[in-house]
Structure 1
């Protein structure tokens, strides 16, 4: 005989009790119904959205990094302050395992003060900046310029005997350009849809070797200029609008350029070139007070955890790079990403303990070749054979795909997913699935609560140039979010106006909230995100 259903059993008991009760009891009015139960607590994503939109502190984090600390060139005093301050923030939020991991980098460098003036044929202050890791002028340097575009060692002979006592203008001046598109914009739906395009990767080891060979040219040029008696160098900014950058890569201890170097705003540089072509060479006065610090050649990544309940050691991870160039305050590149990562940590610190540990990483040395995230991968995730001789500095980034096979380390299986933010302060519009087709429907589901915030796009494309790259390259699910460009690429990226003023608070609140939600989902899902096979060496005949 089939057992009665709970509903049938309850009904039978109720009827028997009614039949057995005295008449007076049967006619007694029924008690008033109990009040309805309170609604169930909001789901975790709703809690994350409420915390991220109503109690956000993301702009407080961004303001301290930019207005208070400022530029954070790797191993500079500003970077050392940022390493300490971000650890303090993680500890204040109650995170555990807060520490820094050091890797070999090179010397610190910063600008104490600088000035570049034209003193002849008329006095005028020029917009200029010392080039990173170039030496000081040791007082005021005054000399005429010579326009001598030198692109390779093949150009040396043409300038032999002509550079003594000169400030050498190394760039071809060009004619300038005017912008044809708005500097500030957001992605249209059509543009977003175009991102969902599969393009096979091109494997070109010979091209990589050619790039490696180019890395020695700055030292060849430096030796030539010194031998020719030049006194300083100047290059033209690659952007108009009086924007400056000052980027360079000679950061190894002891690899000191022989000559002071400055970058001059494009408009000022072209004026110098025109004057030099029309008559007597202009005379410049350069004061460049730059400083080196060789006391600690290690750069440091900052790591912090929200511990999970799973004893397997599995974890998910979010990261952004903490370093910047020296020209501005490193706001959109990448205090914005750092602030959103710290804010995601703050949001998730208010949640129950996750199943898997959630790890937060702030990378160092990204601007010099993703060196911080590369060190984490090589230390914890996977290695490749060490070349002979070993590559150092920027060559580690350029030549990394030459060495096979990939050897997984213990954390390769433990790291469930890595999410990266490094495209400025623009609103998150989606995510790049990095060719992980099985992750696409999962991400579409995770974005569903954020459709009203304009975040829906899952593009199955691969993108490079930032800190998820080496994780993805060894087969770990690693992803970069798609953000509205705003004016990131048009005028802020690596420039002197990359300051807090250009950050968009509403966009950053949205981005931090979505990052927190993705981390929560990845940390608590029943099954980890799908993985792709560990890559093996492609054929060199990859079609173009």
Structure 2
């Protein structure tokens, strides 16, 4: 799940939702909504198949075997890394072993530098000895073996003139950069479950612009905001270049407390550090907030601190290809087999843990759902296609590339001020250009919110789908699946589908300790998984994609977005405001 910039990666920008609404408003002036097949009032459910899926998924589950192979054996799967390539190959082979058709890897484009952490250690040698929790930041260069050096504390630098105060003072020093975080001694418990009241709130459609519920991850709809954020990220590149030019030995930043080390691109010295032309010039690690605070306090009292630091990393190429793992169960109905229902999650992860909950859980839920459907000898009328995406954490690259190559293309702003912003956050400027397969995708179902059970599903404002999902979910209520929300959610792999007018959905998951402990941290490991919750999620995923693949009609769609008209949203529209002044 993209969330590096969440507090300041998670929704598609609200202007895109406005574009969807605008496309219907524009019908009177010649832009019409997409034609839809008549939907039945009552869904036909195969309750025998519901029971078979449930029995297979709960009593014959293989999901923890997939977890052991992917998390314990292969480990963390940073985009472009040798481990992600190994995971792509392994998941392809697992799909083949299940008996799925057309299991293969598909490129979504050139990513950037391959990189892996070999090992990182931080030891205080003076004024006392201590072992500190530490992790290399993604795409950090290595130190020259273990270095032992004095530490110097430098506050956060805001502009280039701030460099002057530190010139000539950094040679051979380990830089402790930024303020020491304050740690709450009365922190709330790590584990959280959605109760009935909270689920009811999620189920209520908001009238406040989607504010108020953090689990929706709705990002600000303000280009100026993102320009400011990424201008700050770009300045971090200048800071690291300054430290390197002053011959500092390494850089340390705070990374989390209570035994949890949070480590993603938000800690690196720039967003685009995975690109060769943005390569970070100085070795960097995150250390525990408690260690950072101890060092900071000592230095503030003029007590010299010396560390033995060893950051071991390896680069494996400047232009590593990005890959998705794809496989399918072919449709059995001659009239419908060319239509497709998709499911998936992202296979890439960060590197501090083993990527078990973000989003290894979503990947193995999708794998297990496909295994269940094969095990119960399902014969869906439409083709069911699973996709395990790469590059989600850096910009939803894998799913966006797949949508671009198969379904539709988008146009983004080329304004100079927006070039510092990742493409998926830039203003869209042109119409959605459709490809023939756009008409053949019924829907995509995604999992990317940790290990918690599926408690419901977001419809992304698709009013027509709500009653369908209600009927599909009714026989699953005893498993805890209760909430159908018209709200949107974002910052993960259903978003590229929704952006081009295709039904893309994310499930509502019980949060457990995803946000508080495992998300992008060293605690994102096998032990954070809940086996019963994963089994339940795989059963519901398998059931939903089976229902979508066997009903007579494709899933209803929202109107096709018209992002090229968003800039006109504040102007009077001819035909809608008859008394508007015409120039």
TM range (shorter): 0.7 to 0.9
Deviation string 1:45-92 (CA, Å, 9 cap, x unpaired) is 122112212211111111111111111111222211111110011001
Verify: 1:245 aligned to 2:262, yes or no. Answer: yes
Deviation at 1:403, TM superposition (A): 3.0
Bigger drift between 194-203 and 522-531 goes to: 194-203
In the TM superposition, what are the counterparts of 1:114-125 in structure 2 within 5 Å? 114-125=120-131
In structure 1, the partner of 2:320 is 297
Deviation string 1:286-309 (CA, Å, 9 cap, x unpaired) is 111110000751111111111113
In structure 2, the partner of 1:380 is 406
In structure 1, the partner of 2:17 is none
Deviation at 1:393, TM superposition (A): 9.9
Provide the rounded CA distance (Å) in 2 between the counterparts of 1:459 and 1:374.
24
Provide the rounded CA distance (Å) in 2 between the counterparts of 1:358 and 1:461.
26
In the TM superposition, what are the counterparts of 1:431-470 in structure 2 within 5 Å? 431-470=457-496
Aligned residues: 501
Asked if structure 1 preserves the Cα contact closer than 8 Å seen for 2:448 and 2:492, the reply is yes
CA 1:206 to 1:279, structure 2 compared with 1: closer, same or farther past 3 Å?
Answer: closer
Provide the rounded CA distance (Å) in 2 between the counterparts of 1:151 and 1:319.
42
Provide the rounded CA distance (Å) in 2 between the counterparts of 1:129 and 1:355.
48
In structure 2, the partner of 1:163 is 170
In the TM superposition, what are the counterparts of 1:274-423 in structure 2 within 5 Å? 274-294=297-317, 297-309=320-332, 310-311=334-335, 313-349=338-374, 350-385=376-411, 388=414, 395-399=422-426, 401-423=427-449
CA 1:240 to 1:433, structure 2 compared with 1: closer, same or farther past 3 Å?
Answer: same
428, 451, 467: which one aligns with 1:425: 451
Asked if structure 1 preserves the Cα contact closer than 8 Å seen for 2:276 and 2:318, the reply is no
Deviation string 1:12-37 (CA, Å, 9 cap, x unpaired) is xxxxxxxxxxxxxxxxxxxxxxxxxx
In structure 1, the partner of 2:294 is 271
CA 1:218 to 1:205, structure 2 compared with 1: closer, same or farther past 3 Å?
Answer: same
Deviation at 1:234, TM superposition (A): 0.7
Asked if structure 1 preserves the Cα contact closer than 8 Å seen for 2:500 and 2:560, the reply is yes
Q: Secondary structure at the match of 1:243?
A: coil
Q: Secondary structure at the match of 2:276?
A: coil
Deviation at 1:396, TM superposition (A): 2.2
* Consecutive unaligned residues in structure 2, runs of 5 or more: 1-45, 211-219, 266-270, 571-583
Q: Secondary structure at the match of 1:111?
A: strand
Q: Secondary structure at the match of 2:58?
A: helix
243, 258, 264: which one aligns with 1:225: 243
In the TM superposition, what are the counterparts of 1:41-80 in structure 2 within 5 Å? 43-80=48-85
* Consecutive unaligned residues in structure 1, runs of 5 or more: 1-40
In structure 2, the partner of 1:9 is none
Q: Secondary structure at the match of 2:124?
A: strand
**Higher relative contact order structure (alpha carbons within 8 Å, sequence separation ≥ 6):** 2
Asked if structure 2 preserves the Cα contact closer than 8 Å seen for 1:323 and 1:366, the reply is yes
130, 135, 139: which one aligns with 1:133: 139
Output the TM-score relative to the length of structure 1.
0.87
Output the TM-score relative to the length of structure 2.
0.82
149, 152, 159: which one aligns with 1:153: 159
Indicate the structure (1 or 2) with the bigger Cα radius of gyration. Answer: 1
Q: Secondary structure at the match of 1:106?
A: strand
